[in-house]
Structure 1
Amino acid sequence: MKDAKALGIIQNAVSDKIFPQIAHADSAKMAWELLYAEYHGGEHVRSVKLQNLICEFEYTRMRDNESLSDYLTRLNELINQMKTFGEVLSNERQVQKVLISLSKKYDPICLVIENTKTLETVEFQEVIAILKSQEQRLEMHSVDTVEKAFASFTVNSKGQNKNASKSGSSKS
């Protein structure tokens, strides 16, 4: 009974990505050993995995059709995986990575941040907050422009544009 409870706790504690690795475990000990082998393993295995994560971190870029939140989530998952293998990135390195890897539409705000903040001292969360406010601003300006364009037009019961009849035009 205790083993089943411990196995349940381990299974609930791991993320959805890791769960399939231990789903077939019959005991808590077996699940623990599988996790230990995967994430602790030998020094050589850990080193290779860390090198792969560092490489992936270096080449990670925001896709043009990707939202800022999705990109930051993806980047944070990568940073957390690197921490798991012993690589701790400085705040400055994380800030630099975000600023150089965003899509082109964020270039103006990145330039402002780089020119007004000291990258060595600015907090990562402060940069994220600035970028998210910029994203909200961009979304505010792109909200259904067609709807805004026709917002000033009203149509009467005869199907005529009231604004057009005031100006002497009969087009609707």
Structure 2
Amino acid sequence: MSSLAKQISVPIFSGQNYDYWAIKMKTYFQSQKLWELVEEGVTLQEDSSTSSSDEKGKLENKKAKDSEALYYIQTAVADHIFPRISVATSAKEAWSILQKEYQGSTKVRIIKLQTLRRDFENMKMKDSETIDEYYTKVRELVNQLKSYGEDIPEKRVVEKLLISVTEKYDPIVTTIEETKDITTLTLTELVGSLEAYEKRRSRREENSLENAFSLN
């Protein structure tokens, strides 16, 4: 067990927000170089008696790493969730049990993924929403897609924001499209520009309202 693993506390899953928990755990396993074992499991050789000592050593090391990953999963679930995976003998088995129960079967996950893709394509900003509120909704949907195995490139999210904000942002969107390279524009830059425009527009509207009252 690495010193980093000792320092980091794994997120606890209590039955809610499985998608977010799974993303955090995947990142954690990747940081410990264990994700491949969780995802694919340990391939056991049919006849270990014919294996070289080096191959046996590698297999034993994989088994130890798998036990380590299984331990992390066991400690990352609340006590009332633990019985569901208590009989699992590998990290892959425990992970699959939780995934199937909280995300559904492969068929269900495919249907859910299709629904999320459709939601992403159809998402539009509401007149009552701020840039921060809308961007948060987009990020949440992108994270859900990621939890179902689909990574949305940042470039695609940038393009989505540009075409789905309300008409009142048309002036700044046009300026961005004409002066920026959309293929390299980051989300941080885009959201920052949209929020700055939003604040300027809000101040102008407030000043106009104050002037209107002062004339009465």
Shift of 1:145: 3.3
Partners in 2 of 1:59 and 1:14 — Cα distance? 26
Alpha carbons of 1:125 and 1:146: their partners in 2 closer, same or farther (altered >3 Å)? closer
3-state SS, counterpart of residue 143 of structure 1: helix
TM-score between the two structures when normalised by the length of structure 2: 0.55
Structure 2: which 5+ residue stretches go unaligned?
Answer: 1-11, 21-77, 86-96
1:123 and 2:176 correspond: no
Shift of 1:28: 2.5
Partners in 2 of 1:120 and 1:83 — Cα distance? 21
Partners in 2 of 1:30 and 1:141 — Cα distance? 59
Structure 2 counterparts to residues 41-120 of structure 1, below 5 A: 41-120=104-183
Alpha carbons of 1:81 and 1:149: their partners in 2 closer, same or farther (altered >3 Å)? same
TM-score between the two structures when normalised by the length of structure 1: 0.68
Alpha carbons of 1:26 and 1:35: their partners in 2 closer, same or farther (altered >3 Å)? farther
Checking the alignment, whether the CA contact within 8 Å between 1:10 and 1:31 is kept in structure 2 is: no
Structure 1: which 5+ residue stretches go unaligned?
Answer: 1-8, 19-24, 154-171
Corresponding residue number in structure 2 for 1:157: none
Corresponding residue number in structure 1 for 2:81: 28
**137-146 or 99-108: bigger deviation:** 137-146
Partners in 2 of 1:75 and 1:42 — Cα distance? 26
Partners in 1 of 2:154 and 2:131 — Cα distance? 19
Shift of 1:146: 3.5
Checking the alignment, whether the CA contact within 8 Å between 2:123 and 2:164 is kept in structure 1 is: yes
Alpha carbons of 1:36 and 1:106: their partners in 2 closer, same or farther (altered >3 Å)? same
Corresponding residue number in structure 2 for 1:165: none
3-state SS, counterpart of residue 142 of structure 1: helix
Checking the alignment, whether the CA contact within 8 Å between 2:117 and 2:145 is kept in structure 1 is: yes
The amino acid that maps onto 1:48 is I
Structure 2 counterparts to residues 151-162 of structure 1, below 5 A: 151=214
- Structure number with larger C-alpha Rg: 1
Aligned length: 138
Question: How large is the RMSD of aligned CA atoms in angstroms?
Answer: 3.0
Partners in 2 of 1:108 and 1:125 — Cα distance? 19
Checking the alignment, whether the CA contact within 8 Å between 2:131 and 2:191 is kept in structure 1 is: no
Identical-pair percentage: 36
Shift of 1:147: 2.6
3-state SS, counterpart of residue 62 of structure 1: coil
